[in-house]
Structure 1
Amino acid sequence: MSVLNTAEIMEILPHRHPFLLIDTVEELESGVRAVAKKAVSFHEPYFAGHFPGNPVMPGVLIIEALAQTGAVAILSQPEWKGKTAYFAGINHAKFKQKVVPGDVLTLETEIIKVKGPIGIGKATAYVDGKIACIAELTFAIG
């Protein structure tokens, strides 16, 4: 059973369809880590052009989904309520396998460092237990 559904995620994040890229939050340790799910549908708008006849979820959107997962973890703390987490950096990103329609992405982001409004998250996306993407994400809360 999910910890947060889409409506509850939208109470924390400012993102909306079609740019809200997580469907549910399965685990949440406020300020520490979050695990979210994204069911990748053939009807995602980006599949019309990426790539016709061979749809692949853009890597940058996998990174964004991981960032949104981390944002739920950090912004679920009372002191950051109503704020927005912005990208400040993406480091060591690696893509290990394609993400295609029908896949369910499991997105895990652990907050490994916070100093004031700046932090770093260790992020990993999985499909069927296999790593699809890893990255280190830096964020600034504003």
Structure 2
Amino acid sequence: MTTAVNIQTTPTEDQASSEPAQQTTFDVLEIQDLLPHRYPFALVDRIVDYVPAKKAVGLKNVTINEPFFPGHIPKRPIMPGVLIVESMAQVGGVVLTLLPGMKGKFFAFAGIDGVRFRRPVVPGDQLIMTVELISLKMNRIAKMRGKTMVDNQLVCEGEMLFSLID
């Protein structure tokens, strides 16, 4: 049994007055304000940690009601690997659209490198996706590294390329 411990710190008076609080979590409605994806292709339920211009950690609760399970694979439902990668890409999209001057802009998925799948994802799993910004060139081309875990086991990892669409 794991016990969660919440440690809260109080900012100093100087910090409270000089630095606005930065939002670090986003619910599904806030994610919809940032990304254009909708059912059945909205694949991030929550952002549980966000570090501006650096990384985000998102989660996806996988249920038997997912629209892809009846055909992939009957009697042995497995989440398609491309949708695991797309889930990571959507977490990356949150990082990119929160960069200064990028709200309302759309970064398209432009490529993947070194993606590996380590274990299947089945109904009842919760994907924990960590996506880090590696580079951003000319505010148009972004490279990101993603990793997806289920129950502290590596499911998928790889690098993704994004391109700003005007």
Q: TM-score, normalised by structure 1?
A: 0.97
Higher-strand-fraction structure: 1
The answer for unaligned runs of 5 or more in structure 1 is none
TM-score, normalising length: structure 2: 0.83
Structure 2 unaligned segments of length 5 or more: list them.
Answer: 1-23
Does residue 34 of structure 2 align to residue 15 of structure 1?
A: no
For the pair 1:121 / 2:144, whether they are aligned, the reply is yes
Say whether residues 1:79 and 2:101 are aligned partners: yes
C-alpha distance in 2, partners of 1:141/1:15? 16
- Output one character per residue of 1:79-111: Cα deviation in whole Å (capped at 9) or x when no partner: 111011111111000000000000000011000
The number of residues matched between the two structures is 142
CA RMSD of aligned residues (A): 1.3
Q: Which residue, 122, 128, 137 being the options, matches 1:100?
A: 122
Q: CA deviation at 1:77?
A: 2.0
Q: Does residue 82 of structure 2 align to residue 56 of structure 1?
A: no
Identical residues among aligned pairs (%): 40
| Structure-2 separation of matches of 1:78 and 1:11 | 16
SS at match of 1:78: coil
Query: Does 1:109 find its partner at 2:160?
Result: no
Match for residue 33 of structure 1?
Answer: 55
* Structure 1 residues 99-129: Cα deviation after superposition (integer angstroms, max 9, x where no partner): 0000000011000111021010000000011
Greater Rg over alpha carbons, structure: 2
Matched, 1:138 2:161: yes
1:42 deviates by 0.3
CA contact (8 A) 1:31 1:75 kept: no
Supply the AA of the counterpart residue of 1:24. R
**Cα drift, residue 31 of structure 1:** 1.8
Higher relative CO (CA 8 A, sep ≥ 6), structure 1 or 2? 1
